Amino acid sequence: MITEMFKIEQKSLSDNLTISRVITGLWQVADMERCGADLDPDKAADHLQNYADSGFDTFDMADHYGSAEIITSRLMARYPDPKNRPVAFTKWCPPPGPMTPEIVRAGVQDRLDRLGVARLDLLQFHWWSFEHPAWLDALHELKNLRKEGLIGEIGVTNFDAAHLHLALADGIPILTNQVVCSLLDRRAMGPLTQICSKHGVHLLVYGTLLGGFLSDKWLGEQEPADISDWSKMKYKRFIDATGGWKVYQSILNAAKQIADKHGTSISNIASRWVLDHNHVAGIIIGVRPGENDHREDNGKLFNFSLDAYDHAQLNSVLRHTLPLPGDCGDEYRRAPFLTASGDLSHHLAAIPSAYDTDTLPNRPAVRRAYSGSKWEDIAGYCRARRVGDRILVSGTTATAGADLVVAKGNAAAQTTFILDKIIGAVTALGGALEDIARTRIFLKDITDAEAVSRAHGRIFGDLKPVNTLLAIDDLAGDYLVEIEAEAIVTDSAEI
């Protein structure tokens, strides 16, 4: 038995949730079923049973991982006492659109039904585009369902530091954030760790082995011309973006030397390196039920530790890698998309706008966009107006829906929400982030200037539009920031 050979580390994340630090991921079920035939759920559950019996008793899945939830339900049904059954995480990844209480409840209930449980241990929420502000509505509804007892804990998936901070500032009790992290992708070790440290959020990490590329199997191999499975298609893009095959092979060579020293595998060196970082509660290692069994090798993770010389040896090769652009989750939200297909076509046909648009009566060339704030009708204005190649965006505050103030008392979080709204309005009228040429920021308190400027710089750091920042005597209600903007739409071919 694996449990007799190794002690599988456990970690308590809350009073309600203790997990194995190696979480068994089921995303490859979707790849195994992409030809149309589902796996036999009972046979696949037998495979998961072996993992659970060996101490790897925590499983991660999602609404779009094929029949993964159904397979796990067969495993869960074998444990009459919920207190003694394995832990099952799942994700809800709805397409962007209105997130009413009914829609959110239906999404959660579908997860409950497919898993065959009365309460979800951890429900993780993913949102495809923060320019559509309904993601915050969804999280507030999940908070309500947690109070009802349908959800044990709330997590998010692929949230960058700014939006995790925003959600926390708006009162969402987020316990975990699931993100990519590996020897090649170290974005999670940046600003995200500061937010986790301040708010007690735990990271659940996937992509640790780059879909199997960080393993002895690939040491010294030639760069593949064709790749068949989705996971490797995706992570080959990570290899290309961080320096290419030669740099990647140098990392494998360094990891191999360390692995030989400890009598273990390259995969375990890569995994241990991630596990040893602060705020990483667990790593998610994928399994293909019925095809492979990595329990013995995974168990060896807990039989050694990396010393200072090991870290120095890895750092000597990691310094030759190129940093991936942006923050965690940007691979799903902006180009270059580091997905299997290189875009979002495997996930979404299109991302709808959150804004209603119309044309000015008797002037059809003038287009307008509306965010739904009640003040647009009261005061008689639109959120944005396009005339020719110019898009003018009204002074915008952190308002969700008609009149809800977002992130009261936190100017930086309000700035993040405002800029998402501005980008959404510009996009709705045919512009793009890169077209924004001017921003004007009005602050209620000048002491917020640095925090707000950093939030602005996160979006515009490389683009650098012209900008003015002013402190004024007051802003209405609980708003700490108001921002207006102007975009000039330019065809990239003209630049």
What is the 3-class SS of the chain, one letter each residue?
CHHHHCCCCEEEEECCEEEECEEEECCHHHHHCCCCCCCCHHHHHHHHHHHHHCCCCEEECCCCCCCHHHHHHHHHCCCCCHHHCCEEEEEECCCCCCCCHHHHHHHHHHHHHHHCCCCEEEEEECCCCCCCCHHHHHHHHHHHHHHHCCEEEEEEECCCHHHHHHHHHCCCCEEEEEEECCCCCCHHHCHHHHHHHHHCCEEEEECCCHHHCCCHHHCCCCCCCCCCCHHHHHHHHHHHHCCCHHHHHHHHHHHHHHHHHHCCCHHHHHHHHHHCCCCEEEEEEECCCCCCCCHHHHHHHHHCCCCHHHHHHHHHHHCCCCCCCCCCCHHHCCCCCCCCCCCCCCCCCCCCCCCEEEEECCEEEEEEEECCCHHHHHHCCCCEEEECCEEEEEEECCEECCCEECCCCCHHHHHHHHHHHHHHHHHHCCCCHHHEEEEEEEECCHHHHHHHHHHHHHHHCCCCCEEEEEECCCCCCCCCEEEEEEEECCCHHHC
* Distance (Å, whole) CA 204 – CA 126: 14
Domains 2-332 and 356-494 share a fold: no
C-alpha–C-alpha distance, residues 78 and 73, integer Å: 9
Q: What is the pLDDT of residue 278?
A: 87
| Residue pair 317/46 in contact by the 8 Å Cβ criterion | no
Specify the pLDDT at position 190.
92
Is the CATH code 3.30.2350.10 the one for domain 2-332?
Answer: no
Residue 139 pairs in a beta bridge with: none
pLDDT score, position 229: 80
Tallying the residues shown for the chain, one arrives at 495
Q: Where are the domains of the chain?
A: 2-332, 356-494
- With tokens 């000048």, the residue in question is 446
Superfamily of structural domain 356-494: RutC-like (3.30.1330.40)
pLDDT at 302: 92
Task: Collect the ranges in the chain with pLDDT lower than 70.
Answer: 1-6, 340, 345-346, 348-349, 492-495
Tell me if 104 sits within 8 A of 139, measured CB to CB. Answer: no
Instruction: State in Å, rounded, how far the first CA of the chain is from the last one.
Output: 64
450 burial type by CB count under 10 A (0-12 exposed, 13-18 middle, 19+ buried): exposed
> What single letter denotes the amino acid at residue 210?
L
Residue with tokens 């929400």: 417
pTM: 0.94
